[in-house]
Amino acid sequence: MTMENPPIAELQRIESLAAELAALAGADIQFALGKAMQVSYKGEPGWMRDPVSEVDHACEVMIRARLAEAAPGHDIIGEEIDDRPGRNHDWVWAIDPIDGTANFVSGLPMFAASIGVLYRGRPVAGALWCSATHVLRPGVYSAHVGGSLNFDGVEFVRPDRAQVRRSLVGTPQGGTAEPFDTRLTGSAAIECAFVAAGLLAGTRLGAPNLWDVAGGAALVLAAGGDVRIHTAEGWVPFTSFQGPDGDLARWRAPMALGRLDALEALLA
Ligand code: IPD
Ligand code: CA
Ligand code: CA
């Protein structure tokens, strides 16, 4: 079955809007750096994982307000706010205002603002503001299906790393993935962006939510990488997000992204 893509001009507009929103979120995140901020924890009282800060919430509010103007009617699934402005719309924006919040609130500079755009469930565009990038400063990686990977609006050209004998891969708990060296960053989204840019050869993510990987999957696919998910049939090629009972917001599955040789090592 062939999958129809939206018109190229629409995809370009969507990518630019996603990149604009990611950059705005990044500016808000940078502004908040080093200032006192409210931090609370999700889950049971006393639970000490899954922190969320007032900056996470404020960034999602800002992104939703801008989308209401620039993409009215489109649906939004965000990590911090439950509102669905366009349930059953073909276009869905999956927002993680800060991915790597535990790093962010600790001051470890490894986090991202992730915007993924789905068309009929397929990630067709994405933009990730990343606190760290290949040029050692924050910036936005973005892409749309059929286009190139861009960094701050300019086509990203991968450097030649043919001399590097052991490339790096991300793994959920550290662990091994011979013949690669493994890394654990604390941000699923930044790992996806690094895979798209070739800084990591691949990554395997434990059980990400839609908003963790929608933007990153769009970047990796546009950059020519492969994406697999774990289902009842085992690891299968990923084509689209399908939530239980059709509810995209509840999609969650182990995912691996990257070069074929890295996926083989990560999924062995
Ligand atoms: C977390 C990060 C982390 C992953 C966690 C996520 P958050 O997202 O992606 O890498 O291991 O499962 O919850 O909470 O910082 O947006
Ligand atoms: Ca996240
Ligand atoms: Ca988050």
How many Å apart are CA 216 and CA 223, to the nearest integer? 11
CA 26 / ligand 3 centre spacing (Å): 13
CA-wise closest residue to 204 among 232, 243, 238: 238
CA of 95 to the centre of ligand 2 (A): 9
Pocket around ligand 1: residues whose beta carbon is below 6 Å from it?
Answer: 50, 79, 96, 99-102, 186-188, 212
Atom number, ligand 1, closest to the C-alpha of residue 56: 16
* β-bridge mates for residue 183, sequence order: 170
Which residue from 141, 138, 144, 135 is spatially nearest to 154, judged by alpha carbons? 141
H helices of the chain, in order, are 8-32, 54-70, 101-106, 188-196, 210-222, 260-266
Q: Is residue 93 classed as helix, strand or coil in its secondary structure?
A: strand
Test site for ligand 1: of 212, 213, 252, most ligand atoms within 8 A of the Cβ: 212
Q: What residue ranges define each of the domains in the chain, with the CATH number in brackets?
A: 8-266 (3.30.540.10)
For residues 130 and 141, the answer to whether their CB atoms sit within 8 Å is yes
- Residue nearest ligand 1's atom 16 by CA: 99
- Considering only CA atoms, which residue is closest to atom 12 of ligand 1? 208
The pair of three-digit structure tokens given for residue 224, joined into one six-digit string: 């020519």
Nearest ligand, CA 252: 1
Q: pLDDT, tens digit, for every residue of 209-240?
A: 999 999 999 999 999 999 999 999 999 999 99
For ligand 1, atom 13, name the residue with the nearest CA.
50
This prediction has a pTM of: 0.96
Q: Per residue of the chain (268 residues), what is the pLDDT tens digit? A: 457 889 999 999 999 999 999 999 999 999 999 888 999 998 888 777 888 999 999 999 999 999 999 999 999 999 999 999 999 899 999 999 999 999 999 999 999 999 999 999 999 999 999 999 999 999 999 999 999 999 999 999 999 999 999 999 999 887 899 999 999 999 999 999 999 999 999 999 999 999 999 999 999 999 999 999 999 999 999 999 999 999 999 999 999 999 999 999 999 9
Kindly report the length of the chain. Answer: 268
Looking at residue 1, what is its pLDDT? Answer: 47
**Residue where the block lists tokens 């809007």:** 17
Q: What does residue 156 show for φ and ψ, rounded to 5 degrees?
A: -90, 125
Atom 15, ligand 1: which residue's CA is nearest?
A: 100
Q: Hey, which bits of 75-233 come out as E strands?
A: 75-78, 91-99, 112-119, 122-130, 139-144, 150-151, 154-155, 168-170, 181-183, 202-205, 226-231
Residue 184: per-residue pLDDT: 95
- Give me ligand 3 centre to Cα 96, in Å: 5
Which pLDDT belongs to residue 163?
Answer: 94
pLDDT score at 2: 55
Instruction: Give residue 100 CA to ligand 1 midpoint distance, Å.
Output: 5
